[in-house]
Amino acid sequence: MNAFAEWLDLEIAKHNWTRAELSRRAGISQSTLSLIYSGQRKPGPDICEGIAMALDLPSITVYKAAGMMLRVAESTALDELMVYRLKEMTPAQRQELMQFVEWILFRDRKRGGVDDEHDIRY
């Protein structure tokens, strides 16, 4: 079994699904999924997007697991996750989050700032 298939099995287990259930939810035929598991086919963007949607994960997470993004800066992955979660929030939750972000920035400015290059707080 390839690394992507092993990762996929772990994600499926988190949902207590079968491979057939993932296939159905992701809009991927069971035969295509079998080919991916056997390593005879690599997942493309459409398959990764379907899997991401089915598993409720950011697309970048699935692309990385599939080996389609060999080197992604951690900040990029975190940014993608933050945007993904932000889209799930209600307008009221977004407003509350924005107030919290503003408070954090204010607090850090008051302390003397942050050295972004080295992630050191003063």
Residue 116, domain member (yes or no): no
**Residues 61 and 102 occupy one common structural domain:** no
Q: Is 52 helix (H, G, I), strand (E, B) or coil?
A: helix
Residue 119, domain member (yes or no): no
**Residues 58 and 9 occupy one common structural domain:** yes
Give the pLDDT of residue 69: 74
Give the pLDDT of residue 73: 57
Angle between helices 19-26 and 45-55 (to 10 degrees): 110
Distance (Å, whole) CA 87 – CA 91: 10
In the numeric block, the tokens 């707080």 are attached to 121
Distance (Å, whole) CA 61 – CA 46: 14
**Residues 60 and 12 occupy one common structural domain:** yes
| pLDDT tens over the chain, length 122 residues | 799 999 999 999 999 999 999 999 999 999 999 999 999 999 988 999 999 999 999 888 898 899 887 555 556 777 878 888 888 899 999 999 999 988 888 888 877 765 554 444 43
Question: What's the total number of domains in the chain?
Answer: 2
Q: Which residues form the domain of 103?
A: 74-111
Residue 55, domain member (yes or no): yes
**Residues 96 and 57 occupy one common structural domain:** no
Residue 120, domain member (yes or no): no
pTM over 0.85: no
Give the pLDDT of residue 36: 94
Enumerate the H helices of 27-120 as residue ranges. Answer: 30-38, 45-55, 59-65, 74-88, 91-111
**Residues 51 and 13 occupy one common structural domain:** yes
Residue 31, domain member (yes or no): yes
Give the pLDDT of residue 75: 62
**Residues 52 and 102 occupy one common structural domain:** no
What Rg value do the Cα atoms of the chain yield, rounded?
19
Distance (Å, whole) CA 60 – CA 58: 5
